[in-house]
Structure 1
Amino acid sequence: MLTALRVRILPEAQRRTLDELSDDLELRTGDVRAKSSAFWTMLTLSGIVAAAGIMSDSTATVIGAMIIAPLSTPIMGIALAAVKRRRNGSVAFVLAGAALVVLIGVLAAAVLPGSYELTDNSQITARISPGLLDLVAAQATGLAGAVALTRRDVAAVLPGVAIAISLVPPLAVVGICLGRGAFDLAAGASLLFLSNLVALVLAGMFVFAVLGYPSELVTDGSRGTNRTYVTFAVLAVVLGIPLVLNTVFSGLVSSWEAAIQRAGVQWLATAPGSSVDGVDLHSATFRLRVQTPGALPPTDRLLSSLAGEVPDGLRLEIVSSRGETIDAGTVGG
């Protein structure tokens, strides 16, 4: 059955040899100087593009950085090294490459004005609170990328894989946040990068092993492969814990935002012409954005209606279309 699955996923006519995979994924074999030059040049440019796109909140620019980023090459090289049971220097390239992109982000943060608010930038907020679905998506993307690498006829999907897996942008966010002293935000972006890295390596190891590449080797009897599998499996579990917690917290925040919006609609019922634009969490404060042609009702009514709907102690602000920001206080306070 396993042989039939291999043939279905990887027809023999389209199968790339282990030597071809090694030449593509190992940066310390073949024309080392050319490979290193290409890797560091493209990674540096990708880091600059990513930092610029993030600071300008430009999705298109960030996607461009994803496409040209070569960081997935040594990451898949780690997976291949595990299957081959031989070190190939890929770990060093990943660590040094990640450090380079973070440094670019730190330097980029130096040009930001003092009034720049990181959490108002959608490119940053999208990468500082990863959830379990991010890990699932990264795993599926890694499987697709590994299969594409082993086949001669589906290389065209690799740019899509590069876009789907987020590697350089979260590292740029880490650097920008570190440069601004926002260590908690940097930790969230680091978690996204690490979870994507581990998912890619596990996916690559799984695909390369299932498709029979170890059978092409005459190994030296090393037992390192099993230890590598166990190490990355443990890392996936460890990283999965905060991802699960983030997912649960995001669900709670969404339910609280919905409750605040419902209460806001009822609260504005006595203010003709007024409406709720939306609710969002800013730092540790919920902001209720409203459109109103005149004065707003007393905020204590809104807080009273939220009792039992959201946890006591949550702080609420009212941001009106007239340019006012009203501190409504805390629920249950």
Structure 2
Amino acid sequence: MSRLVDALIPPSKRQPVGFLTDALDLDSGDRVSKRGGFLIMLVLAGTIAIAGILTDSTATVIGAMIIAPLGTPILGIGLGMVTGHLGLVVRSITWVLVGLVVVVLLGLLFAAFVATPESLAANSQVVGRTSPSLMDLVAALATGLAGGFAMCRKDLSAVLPGVAIAISLVPPLGVVGVCVGQGLWQDALGALLLFLSNVVALVIAGSIVFTAAGYARDPSSSPSANRRRAYTVVAVLTAIIAVPLAANSVASIATARWSVAIQQTTQDWLDGDEGARTYAVAWSGLTATLDVTTDDGSVPPLDDLQTAMSEVVPSFVGVVIDVGQGVEHVIQ
């Protein structure tokens, strides 16, 4: 195991713990300069991210990710846990909360520029951050490992901008503020869950790398620190966040499969009508609505569709066929 660790973090390339503490602790060294720089970059990153979200510009949002000021205190939490410095953990958590509040407030301010809540439903920058899945947590863990190695090794600092792009911290908070400002509470909760899952993943991954690098055994580390308790708390938080992410992933896969089954079954039902068309399935909770158009406005007998639909979609899923002109048929 030691050979593997030495290969990943060679002793000659390992940053001293003092360097990491100075880089990740906003209250060490020149506090005024560090805090001022953090807040300035945070406001700028938040402004860039929210502007990119409202204009649906991926390039602009990436610009905010490169700045990534929140990554510093988040990795500081992991370092404080590994070295046993409770003060560093508390200070880092405080700065993460400050960042959360600042960016959400900026989002609330910019929400005044949103025409209608419905306009956000078609915004890819919003939609992509309001329904997090388990794969988002996996990606965040991998990103955290990369960031931890980049901080520990003297020769990997050049990869930090790329690591920053890979993790989404400020943009989800911007989405939270904008959605709250428009009264879209469910979407805001989804974006907040994405942010929290990324934070926890970064803390876990950073802690793993810092422990492997030997910082827990450094002379400057606290010998009386209860690291097991700290890791237990993080593990519990991970489980709390992973469960809804996993459930959302399962639900997304299930609805995607049901959508294909509903559309294919309806197309088979309309097979005798050459002018019939089916469109994308729209979901509202556990009810799926499918728009159908025909040349003459008539449709085949509904009994055949109900029988076929019951064989491919669970009974607790509602299916509504909208044939236009305000006519809807509840299939199940």
TM-score, structure 1 normalization: 0.89
Alpha-carbon displacement from aligned partner over 1:128-177 (angstroms, at most 9, x marks no partner) = 22121111111111111101111111222212211221111111111111
Residue of structure 2 in register with 1:59 after alignment? 58
Q: Do structure 1's residue 113 and structure 2's residue 115 form an aligned pair?
A: yes
Q: Do structure 1's residue 314 and structure 2's residue 318 form an aligned pair?
A: yes
> Residues 291, 35 of structure 1: CA spacing in aligned structure 2 closer, same or farther, 3 A cutoff?
farther
Q: What SS class does the counterpart of residue 328 from structure 1 fall into? A: strand
* Matches of 2:289 and 2:265, distance apart in 1: 13
Alpha-carbon displacement from aligned partner over 1:254-287 (angstroms, at most 9, x marks no partner) = 1111102212332442332555454343566535
Give the counterpart letter for 1:96 in structure 2. Answer: V
Q: 1:199 aligns with which of 195, 198, 201?
A: 201
- Aligned positions, number: 327
Where do 5+ consecutive residues of structure 2 fail to align? none
* Matches of 1:105 and 1:299, distance apart in 2: 50
C-alpha displacement of 1:318 = 4.4
Q: 1:279 aligns with which of 278, 281, 284?
A: 281
Q: Please show how residues 136-175 of structure 1 align to structure 2 within 5 Å.
A: 136-175=138-177
> Residues 10, 326 of structure 1: CA spacing in aligned structure 2 closer, same or farther, 3 A cutoff?
farther
Give the counterpart letter for 1:199 in structure 2. Answer: A
Residues 18 and 213 of structure 1 are in contact (CA less than 8 Å); yes or no, is this contact kept in structure 2? yes
Residue of structure 1 in register with 2:70 after alignment? 71
Residue of structure 2 in register with 1:260 after alignment? 262
Of residues 97-106 and 62-71 in structure 1, the stretch that sits farther from structure 2 once superposed is 62-71
* Matches of 2:305 and 2:153, distance apart in 1: 60
* Matches of 1:182 and 1:202, distance apart in 2: 31
> Residues 299, 191 of structure 1: CA spacing in aligned structure 2 closer, same or farther, 3 A cutoff?
farther
* Matches of 1:10 and 1:96, distance apart in 2: 33
Residues 129 and 194 of structure 2 are in contact (CA less than 8 Å); yes or no, is this contact kept in structure 1? yes
> Residues 175, 288 of structure 1: CA spacing in aligned structure 2 closer, same or farther, 3 A cutoff?
same
Residues 321 and 330 of structure 2 are in contact (CA less than 8 Å); yes or no, is this contact kept in structure 1? no
Q: Please show how residues 219-234 of structure 1 align to structure 2 within 5 Å.
A: 219-234=221-236
Residues 271 and 296 of structure 1 are in contact (CA less than 8 Å); yes or no, is this contact kept in structure 2? no
Q: What SS class does the counterpart of residue 316 from structure 1 fall into? A: strand
* Matches of 1:316 and 1:121, distance apart in 2: 26
Where do 5+ consecutive residues of structure 1 fail to align? none
Q: What SS class does the counterpart of residue 272 from structure 1 fall into? A: coil
Give the counterpart letter for 1:316 in structure 2. Answer: V
C-alpha displacement of 1:62 = 1.6
* Matches of 1:56 and 1:327, distance apart in 2: 36
Residue of structure 1 in register with 2:9 after alignment? 10
Give the counterpart letter for 2:198 in structure 1. Answer: N
> Residues 49, 267 of structure 1: CA spacing in aligned structure 2 closer, same or farther, 3 A cutoff?
farther
Give the alignment's Cα RMSD to 1 decimal.
2.4
Give the counterpart letter for 2:81 in structure 1. Answer: A
C-alpha displacement of 1:317 = 5.3
> Residues 305, 226 of structure 1: CA spacing in aligned structure 2 closer, same or farther, 3 A cutoff?
same
Q: What SS class does the counterpart of residue 14 from structure 1 fall into? A: coil
Residues 315 and 328 of structure 1 are in contact (CA less than 8 Å); yes or no, is this contact kept in structure 2? no
* Matches of 2:292 and 2:221, distance apart in 1: 67
* Matches of 1:285 and 1:66, distance apart in 2: 36
Residue of structure 2 in register with 1:83 after alignment? 82
Give the counterpart letter for 1:37 in structure 2. Answer: G
C-alpha displacement of 1:64 = 1.6
Of residues 212-221 and 191-200 in structure 1, the stretch that sits farther from structure 2 once superposed is 212-221
Using the aligned pairs only, state the percent identity. 44
Residue of structure 2 in register with 1:133 after alignment? 135
* Matches of 2:39 and 2:49, distance apart in 1: 15
Alpha-carbon displacement from aligned partner over 1:41-70 (angstroms, at most 9, x marks no partner) = 111111111112222222222222111121
> Residues 302, 170 of structure 1: CA spacing in aligned structure 2 closer, same or farther, 3 A cutoff?
farther
